[in-house]
């Protein structure tokens, strides 16, 4: 094989697992302008009767989000859920220690559930409980308020607040990033493991059918990584269903080659957490298998934010402009590669949440009183959510490599493929990490009854730093690829330099 060609084989007999729809989740936190002037802006020309921006709702539907985590994030560790229910005019204003802002509580739990219903029936809530400054009693009270039909003080309070039907929240996070010293109420692994187990046990006394997520490590770089998971799961293994992973990536000191290989770290993180979970399960002699909830992931320029926060500390403003990264073509290619990493581990990653949804490190941006638009990262997510449903095929590619400072030799090709068993359609998702040259790709398709190329969509640009902005909201959009051929069960295509590619193959019409 010439060194310049990448190739792999797709065979329906060799699969990773079925994609859980929850893999295409997102995250709404009371941080910056995610909620206020993001999804909720009464008085905006596009606002509905509830103050929700209908232009944003339309984009969220197009994005294809399936589950939304709420209300945080670091915010949840100071969250008093009682503040967010009842008559809006009677809700208190609170200091938010996590983001040094003032929370008005104009948008709360009931508004969040109503927001999800307007997205569509596929949008599911993922609720986090406060295990930072509160604990077991608060979690069960929130659960009773949200999910119990009626006939108790808390459930009747919900009914009196105008929500006769229970919210029916099935998926719950037991706190957030409790391994992080930045977290209000930070705990050791032993302290958190015990608290998570007791909270899970109490919540299950109300409803044994809940799905519970224990806090894992905030990144693979944490000094307590793996030991944290092992300690927490030793306490809570039989009481929880998922362990969380969080990871953010950014270009550091101009090292773009390493940045483009960020998914190497993400895949390593997933595989190491799987190994830790399975080791604890084996040690406990449990037949249960813990799944992974990658409920925060994205490209995020954290160093830039930290420098700005140190230079100009906030003085408790309402909905300040925070973490409003503008994403480039390069960022979108890395972002697409992270999506590929999640799909390649669909057998164990059954929940994932892009952090966040609007304005805050988000695929959707808004201007107060003005328009909403798609960032470059919008497109890979929307395409993966739309076409990445079905069974992930096992992709073991041979590819030319390049050298990175952070990860050593890395393949130029990063790819996966998903087959829809009903239609027989196969979608190949592929990234070319080469910044200057096209990458020829050959895919053998034995046993797959596909005979035509439906589409080859490419996200790339001559300017790798091109962005979509308020002034130019459509500067970067996907375009049609050229030259792909499907002949005698073999796909040949040239992937443009620094590109995200979606290639859809189908049987005869």
Catalytic residues: 177, 296
CA–CA dist 297, 188 (Å, integer):
23
User: For the residues of 117-148, what is the DSSP string, one character each?
Assistant: HHH-TT-EEEEEE--SS--HHHHHHHHHHHH-
Do strands 413-419 and 426-432 pair parallel, antiparallel, or not at all (unpaired)?
antiparallel
Q: Is the dihedral of CA 476, 477, 478, 481 positive or negative?
A: negative
CA–CA dist 471, 452 (Å, integer):
39
Those residues with Cβ within 8 angstroms of residue 287's Cβ, 6 or more apart along the chain or in another chain:
none
CA–CA dist 358, 347 (Å, integer):
29
Phi, psi of 261, rounded to the nearest 5 degrees? -100, 20
Q: Is the peptide bond prior to 244 cis by the omega test (within 30 degrees of 0)?
A: no
The token duo for 404 is: 């990175």
Contact of 199 with 136, CB cutoff 8 Å = yes
Those residues with Cβ within 8 angstroms of residue 136's Cβ, 6 or more apart along the chain or in another chain:
195, 198, 199, 202
CA–CA dist 93, 105 (Å, integer):
7
How many beta carbons lie within 10 A of that of residue 405, not counting itself?
A: 11
3-state secondary structure 274-299: HHHHHHHHHHCCCCCCCEEEEEEEEE
Contact of 317 with 309, CB cutoff 8 Å = no
């Amino acid at each position: 094989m010439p060194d310049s060609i990448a190739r792999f084989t797709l065979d329906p007999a060799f699969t990773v697992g079925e994609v859980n729809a929850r893999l295409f989740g997102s995250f709404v936190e009371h941080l910056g302008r995610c909620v206020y002037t993001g999804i909720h802006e009464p008085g905006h020309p596009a606002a509905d009767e509830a103050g929700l921006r209908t232009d944003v709702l339309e984009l969220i539907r197009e994005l294809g989000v399936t589950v939304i985590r709420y209300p945080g994030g670091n915010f949840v560790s100071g969250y008093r859920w009682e503040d967010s229910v009842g008559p809006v005019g009677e809700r208190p204003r609170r200091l938010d220690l996590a983001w040094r802002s003032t929370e008005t509580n104009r948008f709360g739990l009931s508004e969040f559930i109503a927001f999800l219903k307007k997205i569509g029936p596929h949008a599911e809530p993922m609720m986090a409980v406060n295990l930072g400054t509160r604990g077991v009693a608060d979690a069960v009270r929130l659960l009773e308020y949200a999910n119990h039909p009626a006939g108790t003080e808390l459930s009747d309070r919900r009914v009196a607040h105008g929500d006769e039907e229970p919210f029916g929240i099935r998926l719950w996070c037991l706190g957030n990033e409790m391994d992080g010293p930045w977290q209000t109420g930070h705990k050791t692994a032993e302290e958190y493991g015990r608290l998570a187990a007791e909270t899970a046990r109490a919540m299950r006394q109300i409803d044994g059918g809940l799905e519970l997520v224990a806090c894992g490590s905030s990144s693979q770089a944490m000094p307590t990584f793996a030991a944290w998971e092992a300690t927490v799961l030793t306490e809570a293994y039989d009481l929880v269903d998922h362990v969380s992973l969080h990871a953010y990536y950014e270009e550091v000191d101009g090292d773009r080659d390493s940045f483009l290989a960020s998914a190497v770290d993400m895949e390593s993180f997933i595989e190491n957490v799987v190994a830790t979970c399975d080791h604890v399960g084996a040690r406990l002699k449990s037949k249960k298998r813990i799944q992974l909830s990658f409920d925060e992931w994205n490209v995020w320029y954290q160093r830039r934010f930290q420098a700005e926060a140190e230079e100009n500390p906030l003085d408790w403003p309402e909905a300040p402009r925070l973490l409003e990264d503008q994403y480039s073509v390069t960022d979108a290619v890395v972002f697409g590669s992270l999506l590929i990493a999640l799909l390649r581990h669909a057998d164990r990653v059954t929940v994932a949440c892009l952090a966040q949804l609007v304005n805050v490190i988000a695929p959707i941006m808004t201007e107060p009183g003005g328009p909403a638009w798609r960032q470059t990262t919008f497109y890979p997510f929307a395409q993966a959510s739309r076409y990445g449903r079905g069974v992930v095929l096992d992709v073991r590619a041979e590819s030319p490599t390049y050298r990175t400072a952070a990860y050593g030799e890395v393949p130029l090709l990063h790819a996966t493929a998903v087959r829809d068993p009903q239609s027989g359609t196969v979608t190949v998702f592929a990234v070319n990490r080469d910044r200057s040259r096209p990458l020829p790709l050959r895919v053998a398709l034995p046993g797959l009854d596909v005979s035509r190329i439906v589409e080859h969509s490419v996200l790339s640009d001559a300017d790798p730093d091109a962005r979509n902005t308020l002034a130019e909201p459509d500067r970067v959009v996907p375009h049609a690829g050229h030259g792909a051929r499907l002949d005698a069960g073999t796909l040949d295509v040239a992937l443009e330099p620094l590109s995200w590619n979606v290639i859809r193959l189908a049987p005869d019409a």
